[in-house]
Structure formats: C-alpha cells, structure tokens
Amino acid sequence: MKPPTRQISLYHPANWLSWSGVGAMWLLARLPLSTQFYLGRVLGRLTCRLSLSRRHITRTNIDLCFPELTLQQKQQLVRSVFTSTGIGLVETAIAWFGSIDRNRVTIEGLEHLHRAQQQKRGVILVGAHFSTLDIAGAMLAGEIDLDVIYRRNKNPVMEYCMRNGRQQHYNGVIERSDTRQILKRLRQGAIIWYAADQDYGRKHSVFAPFFGQQAATISATGRFARLNDSPVLFMSHFRDPETKTWNICIQPQLQDFPSGDESIDARRINTIIETEIRRHPDQYLWLHRRFKTRPPGDSRPY
C-alpha cells in the first residue's frame, strides 16, 4: 500500500507564489471600479499575448463553433474573449475579497425562482461558465439563499481562498463529487446552482450537439431532477463593460424535464447554453478545452 500523501502547510514556501497572487487580488478588490476594469482589460491582453496554450485552445474553440466568421472576425473575437476573461478575474477578486455594489445589478426572472422554490422539492439552477460567474453568483445570493456546486482546485491556496470567498455568499459550497450532499440539500428544499457546460470525461457524460460539435455533456442535471422531482431553471449573466453594470436573467422552469432520455435532456440544456452564449460570445470561457473528449473515431482538436 502507498503511504498517505503528506499535505504541506498552506504557508509553506512552496505556496508563497500563490499567496502573492492572492495578495494582488486582495489589492485589486480595493481599487475604484473604473481602475479595476482597466486593469482587467490589461491583464486579459497580456494573457492573450503570453499564454500560447490558452490562446491556441481559444482559437480552436472559435474555429469549431463559429465557422461562419471571417478570419479577421475570429481573431477579434479571440482578443475580446481574453479581455473579458481578464475583467472576469478582477470581478472574482471583488466577489471574494471586496464589497459588491448591488445597485449595479439587474435581476430578471427572480419570480420564476421563487415560484419553483414554493414547490418544496429543491431547485436545480443550471448555469454556464460565463466570465461573470463569481460576481453574478454573489449578487444573486444577496437576494435569495442558494448553494453552489464547484470543482476543487488542485492548488491548495486557491482552493482555500475560493471556498472562503464563496462561503461568504452561499448557504453551502459543495464539491461536485459529493452527490450525497447535493441530494440531501435538494431534499431539504435548497436551491442548487451549478454550471453544466464543462467536459468531465466520457464516464459522466453523454454526447450532444453544441455549436454543431458533438460535445461530452454531463448527464447529472436530469438525474438529480428525476431523483428528487426537482424543478430545473436556467440562469445566464452578463456585464455591460461601458456602464460597468451586470444583468442576471433567470428563465422559467423547464417543462417536461427530465424526459427520461439523457441524450435528449443534454441536447436541450446545450441548446439553451448555446443560445445564451450567442448573445455575448466574448463573455464565455472559451479558454477551457470544451471538446477534449471525442466520440469514437474523432480526432482530438487541441
């Protein structure tokens, strides 16, 4: 048997570089909003220039998902994606370490969430990885109690800060593999918010169309809804970089969901996500390898 892995202290010298990054985020969260947005744009542009691997992934995703665009339009979209992601990193710093001006957010469809909650079977609030994810979630949590599902960060410092930052706003911060806790909270009537758009591998997914590509799509949404008969709603969130305001839109409860067919359910969720992405394609997290898991016989795009 292998001996248990020894956990080093959060304050071990090996983590000092990570702590310096956290310190930078803490400082960013205390600057004027106009300065924060400016620095976010600068950070995004620098990342676009310096991170060759992420730029390659983003370009590949844009090529796959927007074949109708010209080369010049695709290049501009790639640059805009990095700029938006840079602002999103600053927004995350605000959500974790700063104070949120709730006068700058408009929430549409909150009545749909209240109506679903009244059914007392828990609520599954489905989202996607838009770059406004952390700040929008914190803003919504100021209006209604909800739990969030997240993916554990391999960096122990970022994991610690992410959990602490989110625990300020949410009733519960649940690691995605803790299905027992997710079901428990649904049975207690909680609203569970999570993003259903990342590639978690063949084991946890079915293939469904996404921007004309067969994408590995997690099937947990329909499964959780079926196990607890919980209503499912979709939420999107975007920023207006000119006015420095945010908009959260909660759609009405999905009808006839789940259908009993995981592939049909996955296709339906992907269609909703794709429709919302097309509203502001630069504000989606195209930097992740959305199509890393391929159907048998397909080549790997990255």
Within the chain, where are the H helices? 16-28, 33-50, 52-65, 71-97, 110-117, 133-141, 156-167, 179-187, 220-228, 262-279
Q: Comparing C-alpha atoms, which of 268, 153, 187 is closest to residue 221? A: 268
- pLDDT of res. 6: 56
Residue 297 pLDDT class (50, 70, 90 cuts): confident
- pLDDT of res. 7: 65
Confidence check: pLDDT of 4 > 90: no
177 versus 8: which is more confidently predicted?
Answer: 177
C-alpha 39/C-alpha 45 separation (Å) is 10
Concatenate the DSSP letters of all residues of 127-179 into one string: E--BTTHHHHHHHHHTTS--EEEEPPPSSHHHHHHHHHHHHTT-SEEEETT-H
In our burial notation (b when 16+ CB lie closer than 10 A, e otherwise), range 131-145 reads bbbbbbbbbbbeeee
Q: Comparing C-alpha atoms, which of 112, 105, 100, 119 is closest to residue 33? A: 100
C-alpha 80/C-alpha 239 separation (Å) is 13
Average pLDDT, integer, range 168-175: 96
The CATH classification number of 101-283 equals: 3.40.1130.10
C-alpha 212/C-alpha 275 separation (Å) is 12
- Strands 232-240 and 213-218, by their bridges, are unpaired
pLDDT digits (tens, 9 = 90+) for 205-238: 999 999 999 999 999 899 999 999 999 999 999 9
Could you tell me the maximum CA-CA distance found in the chain, to the nearest angstrom? Answer: 58
Q: Domain segments of the chain: what residues?
A: 101-283
Average pLDDT, integer, range 269-298: 96
Supply the mean pLDDT for the chain.
Answer: 95
Share of the chain above pLDDT 90, in %: 92
